[in-house]
Structure 1
Amino acid sequence: MTEVFFYHLQSRPLEAALPQLLEKCLERGWRCAVQTTSSERVDALDQLLWTYDEASFLPHGTDRQPEPARQPILLTTSESNPNEAAVRFLIDSASIPDLSPYERVIHLFDGNDSDAIDQARGAWREARAGGHEVAYWQQGPDGRWQRR
């Protein structure tokens, strides 16, 4: 069964948390897909992953570029999985109907947005009802993740 993780963003924004989580996935040899709900957000994330750290970058591309299947990290608004990602990140309340192609699905949600919290709670219930292993991670005051 797919592991479904919920990351409750509180003390640091998505733009600070996402690159770190993607780095950990790549260290494990996992290909990733980051799904959002707008092409503007894809463009913003594309820029972020090139510039978030002066000492490094995350190899990535968008599904609008040639050969999306070759990308270690694919930024998309689509539910498809052309790069055969093992990990699917869902942001901005994005969702996918079938979790089975993934080792892990990660919901990142803004703890200051009541609609995002409600959507995450619904996704939690669906994942548990589907028999998936679920875990909840919350940011501490220092920005470090703590499993609850």
Structure 2
Amino acid sequence: MNTRVHFYHNTPDRLALAGELVGRALERGRKAAVRLPDAASLKRFDQLLWTREALSFLPHVPIDSPLAAETPVVLAAAGGDEAWPHADMMFNLADDVPPGFDRFRLLVEIVGQAEADRLPARARWGTYKQRGCELKAFDAELRVAL
């Protein structure tokens, strides 16, 4: 299986966009692995999923939870030994290529507006291209395909 990779560039708020896209994925019956840069980002994203809309709930747990295999959204900070319980979709907000990304049907890269976000994203794009992944790019702020 060749992993499809979607890059959302020019994102004003990476966590907010990830929350929106994860919510849409769940509405379609998908499962999502969300890889965040660090523990602080994971905590902020966890809080965002609890508070994003008054009447919505996105079931989620950290990757080390005993309920991870049964929960549609699993969260982990980069740098750990991520043994994801499913291989449907991964959302990567970290600056590196996720280990084992090629197990997933779809990898979503969310890239901020700062140059510090764009440079590592260009390197990841090159890696995915070399690995034969199908790549698509979108401008997250303008909401258009590039």
Q: TM-score range by the shorter chain?
A: 0.7 to 0.9
CA distance in 2, matches of 1:58, 1:147: 27
* Residues 120 and 73 (structure 1), Cα distance of their counterparts in 2 relative to 1, 3 Å cut: same
RMSD across aligned C-alpha pairs, in angstroms? 1.7
* Residues 24 and 53 (structure 1), Cα distance of their counterparts in 2 relative to 1, 3 Å cut: same
Q: What corresponds to 1:146 in structure 2?
A: 144
Q: What corresponds to 2:34 in structure 1?
A: 34
Residues 57-76 of structure 1: pairs in structure 2 closer than 5 A:
57-76=57-76
CA distance in 1, matches of 2:30, 2:76: 17
Is the CA contact (8 Å cut-off) linking 1:59 and 1:73 kept in structure 2? yes
User: Structure 1 runs of 4+ off > 3 angstroms?
Assistant: none
Q: What corresponds to 2:111 in structure 1?
A: 109
User: How many residue pairs end up in the alignment?
Assistant: 143
Unaligned runs of 5+ in 1: none
Residues 127-142 of structure 1: pairs in structure 2 closer than 5 A:
127-141=128-142
CA distance in 2, matches of 1:114, 1:76: 25
Q: Residues 81-135 of structure 1: CA distance to partner in whole angstroms, max 9, x if unpaired?
A: 4321311111031431332210101111111x21210111111111111111001
Is the CA contact (8 Å cut-off) linking 2:96 and 2:124 kept in structure 1? no
* Residues 104 and 51 (structure 1), Cα distance of their counterparts in 2 relative to 1, 3 Å cut: same
TM-score normalised according to structure 2 size: 0.88
TM-score normalised according to structure 1 size: 0.87
